[in-house]
Structure 1
Amino acid sequence: MTDSEFLDRADALLLQIEQACDRITESTALDLDAQRVGGMVTIVFPDRSQIVVNQQKPLHEIWLAARAGGFHFKFQDGQWLDTKGEGEFYAMLAKLASEQAGGASLRFAPQA
């Protein structure tokens, strides 16, 4: 993957996270605040806990940091997969965000 391809895919992922947070806030009682600065999105939960997703340009990776720990993802076979075999990015984000939201069932998914 070229640097340009990585940046296009990574920017699309960050935008989708922002849009999903907006949808969750509009359609539920949960108030998520997604703040984007450059290649990083910080999701702030009502209890002030955070999930941070950022681009690692030199490595062509997306890093996700949550209460449960840190995870690294590479784009492979059409999806962002954890480098240690922990799963797909959007499923992992949904699981971690749901945990940090007190057990609410939150959905994050790539847009077609």
Structure 2
Amino acid sequence: MGRAIVGAKCPKCREGKLYSVNVLSYRKLTEVNKSCKVCAANFHPEPDFYYGAMYISYAFSVALVITSLTTINLLVDVPKFWMYMTMVVVLNIVLLPAMLRYSKVLYLYGMSRLKYRGY
């Protein structure tokens, strides 16, 4: 299951792709495929299903801020405010696609009724 989550694969067959572009791409950030091309599983079980993924995305952002602030405090004797802000902004811009997409992947795996069916 870990490889399927990292690869953003279908929770039912673990072969079809959830996204039409690479998971780390900045194109089509919020667009999830309608269904699996391999097993025809529906990736949109109800309207606005992925709104719940915002909570996971928020947790990713909080973890990123805490990690970056701790790292700066460990590496710099007297950190300046601009160091904190620059690191948080840059890391958020760089990791935005991964955080948005993996929050949807984790939400789909955890909250949908799609269960693995080994064919």
**Taking structure 2 as the reference length, what is the TM-score of the superposition?**
0.32
**More helix by percentage:** 2
Bigger relative contact order (CA 8 A; separation at least 6) = 2
